[in-house]
Homo-oligomer: A and B are copies of this chain.
Amino acid sequence: MPRPAKHVFVCVQSRPPGHPRGSCGAKGCQAVLDELLSQSQSRELAAQGIQVTGTGCLDPCDSGPNLLIYPEGVMYGGLKKEDVAEIIDSHLLGGKPVERLLVPSEIW
């Protein structure tokens, strides 16, 4: 695909059980990414300029599962797969961030 209008990065970092930082992996990030990829395919989001990429650690592990959207640099945290549709509809397609899911401004 050409340069996307919105590039969505989803942390898929895992760490061993008991690791002091925890991880988005331990908090269910894979289900979030899977849901996003599934909806991306069924709703043809790539053709609408939306790209999805899994990443290593994005930094604020405590607030995971984390999802980061560029170019605007907006980070969502504490996500469940049920939140994905709202992020697509409101933010990615509608241009309106989902306030209730934003990582607190003191963290990001």
Task: Name A residues whose Cβ lies closer than 8 Å to a Cβ of B.
Answer: 1-4, 7, 9, 12, 51, 53-59, 70-73, 75, 107-108
Q: Which of B4, B53, B73 contacts A3 (CB 8 A)?
A: B73
Instruction: Looking at the assembled complex, report how far the CB atom of A13 sits from the nearest CB atom of chain B, in whole angstroms.
Output: 9
**Interface secondary structure of A, over-half rule:** loop
8 interchain residue pairs of minimum CB distance: A70-B70, A54-B56, A71-B71, A55-B55, A53-B55, A3-B108, A53-B56, A71-B73
A54–B53 contact, CB under 8 A?
A: no
Interface pairs (27), CB distance under 8 Å: A1-B59, A2-B107, A2-B108, A3-B73, A3-B75, A3-B108, A4-B73, A7-B70, A7-B73, A9-B9, A9-B53, A9-B55, A12-B56, A51-B59, A53-B55, A53-B56, A53-B58, A54-B55, A54-B56, A55-B55, A55-B56, A70-B70, A70-B71, A70-B73, A71-B71, A71-B72, A71-B73
